[in-house]
Amino acid sequence: MKEVLMINVDELWLKGKNRPQYFRAIKSHLKDLFKKSHGVSTTIINVNQRLVATSEKAFARDIQDRIINVPGVHSICLAEMAPLDLEEASKIAIAQLDKMESFPKTFKVTCKRINKQFDMRSMDAAREMGAILLRHYDGTENALKVDVRKPQVFVDLKIHRDGIYVSTEKRLAIGGLPWGTSGHLVTMLSGGFDSPIASYMMARRGCKQTFVFFYAYPYVGEEVKEKLLDMASKLGEFQRGSKIYIVPFGDLQDLIAKSCKEEYRTLLFRRIMVECSTELASRIKASALLTGDALGQVSSQTLENISYIDRVSKLPIFRPLIGFNKIEIVNMSKVAGTHDISVRPHDDACSLFAPKHPVIRPDLEYLKEFESSFKYEDAVKNAVDRSEIYAISSIGEVKLVSDPIE
């Protein structure tokens, strides 16, 4: 019996003439994963805008778990192929249902007839299959009922030229657009809940990302770095290969703390982080920055402070969480798989330097004055030069590629 993995794409149907380019991107991401996680060679073909993967070996849960994290994939289902005959197809459906951990009470058959030579229309084939299954289980302890609105199980048939693909388990994936088709961002990653979710959301929108963490070395311990590397490894699973730059930030924090009014420290730390991220973006040809800001969440995220940062930033700053409540972000982190890393406690150098009363409505005149006297260009370049850089593979392997910090 031939087993295939059906990979349904998400928004690619919206695309016009450039659709092949999107398919190429998603296919190459999938191929990379199969190569790293599945072991044996896998063929992926496009059948009516659906990707069908076949290989010599069964598709283990592990590779399926990875594929549902590929941006652009809407859902997957493991299907087995029957000859072009509904009775034969029903045997497969029954075997799959019987194997289920908890037997369903209700089901619905869905059917798509791609092969127009098949002598039954989709609706009729679905109805017929439903009738066969009802008959089969009738009077047994597993008596089934049809529920077209909220069935516990979908029995899905895809009638192709070479046979009928039958599947009873569909898993939803993260959806959106394939990796790299929406440009390259520098993602400012801190240790909390927000920035990883910002990254997750923009990964779904097809953004390639390079992560940057401002490491308040020597004011915080090594565990912070470990935490960030674990987070980058997790977020790397939504990328087709990425990097994290650990930028030494202690010297810059010192410099700012000495040069500005105390209440402006947090805002100006953020401003210099943006400056360093912009410098990094120009080196790696990224075209925008990404942060986990949510309006009003903390003092540096008041409308006035965000406006100031935007005014001085040379690159657009994406803030996908701007209108989200914290609880929504925490809930999303459970879905994205970042929650258990975010929840780990870590030292935060910003609080070490934190003013008692951080500015909420900055005096723009003061900031202008500060900007004209504070020369930070060399310090910014120097900090980025001293970054420790790690590569992250599509399955989350982290490897040091450059370590100049001191």
Is residue 62 within 8 Å of 95, Cβ to Cβ? Answer: no
By the 10 Å C-beta count (0-12 exposed, 13-18 middle, 19+ buried), 199 is classed as buried
Footprint (CB under 6 A) of ligand ATP, residues 66-85: none
Please enumerate in sequence order all residues whose Cβ is within 8 A of that of 340, keeping only pairs 6 or more positions apart, or say none.
none
Residue nearer to Mg ion on the CB measure, 184 or 346: 346
Site for Mg ion contains 291 (CB under 5 A): no
Residue nearer to ligand ATP on the CB measure, 90 or 301: 301
Residue nearer to ligand ATP on the CB measure, 305 or 393: 305
CA–CA separation, 40 and 63 (whole Å): 12
Shortest CB 196 distance to ligand ATP, Å: 6
Residue 111 interface partner, choices Mg ion, ligand ATP, none, CB cut-off 5-8 Å depending on type? none
Q: What angle do CA 387, 397, 51 make, to 5 degrees?
A: 120
CA–CA separation, 242 and 233 (whole Å): 9
Shortest CB 112 distance to ligand ATP, Å: 43
Tokens of 155: 């029995």
CA–CA separation, 173 and 285 (whole Å): 29
Site for Mg ion contains 237 (CB under 5 A): no
Residue 190 interface partner, choices ligand ATP, Mg ion, none, CB cut-off 5-8 Å depending on type? ligand ATP
Kindly state the greatest CA–CA separation across the chain: 86
Residue nearer to Mg ion on the CB measure, 196 or 250: 196
Residue 353 interface partner, choices Mg ion, ligand ATP, none, CB cut-off 5-8 Å depending on type? none
Shortest CB 104 distance to Mg ion, Å: 42
CA–CA separation, 18 and 50 (whole Å): 16
Give bridge partners of residue 46 from the DSSP assignment. 51
Which residue's beta carbon is nearest to the bound Mg ion? 194
How many other CB atoms are found less than 10 A from the CB of residue 250? 18
Tokens of 184: 């390259």
Cα 154 to its chain centre, rounded Å, is 26
CA–CA separation, 341 and 328 (whole Å): 17
Shortest CB 181 distance to ligand ATP, Å: 23
Shortest CB 231 distance to ligand ATP, Å: 9
Residue 214 interface partner, choices ligand ATP, Mg ion, none, CB cut-off 5-8 Å depending on type? ligand ATP
Residue nearer to Mg ion on the CB measure, 55 or 297: 297
Residue nearer to ligand ATP on the CB measure, 190 or 239: 190
Site for Mg ion contains 194 (CB under 5 A): yes
Which residue's beta carbon is nearest to the bound ligand ATP? 192
> Distance between terminal CA atoms of the chain?
59
Shortest CB 164 distance to ligand ATP, Å: 48
Residue nearer to ligand ATP on the CB measure, 25 or 309: 309
Residue nearer to ligand ATP on the CB measure, 10 or 237: 237
Residue nearer to ligand ATP on the CB measure, 6 or 189: 189
Peptide bond into 218 cis (omega under 30): yes
How do 73-82 and 2-9 pair as beta strands?
antiparallel
Residue 22 interface partner, choices Mg ion, ligand ATP, none, CB cut-off 5-8 Å depending on type? none
Is residue 171 within 8 Å of 68, Cβ to Cβ? Answer: yes
How do 388-392 and 398-402 pair as beta strands?
antiparallel
Residue 189 interface partner, choices Mg ion, ligand ATP, none, CB cut-off 5-8 Å depending on type? ligand ATP
Footprint (CB under 6 A) of ligand ATP, residues 163-202: 188-195
Shortest CB 214 distance to ligand ATP, Å: 4
CA–CA separation, 101 and 183 (whole Å): 43
Footprint (CB under 6 A) of ligand ATP, residues 264-323: 273, 291-293, 297-298
Tokens of 65: 């778990």
Footprint (CB under 6 A) of ligand ATP, residues 202-241: 212-214
The residues that touch ligand ATP, with contacts defined as CB under 6 A, are 188-195, 212-214, 273, 291-293, 297-298
Residues of this chain that interact with Mg ion (CB under 5 A) are 194
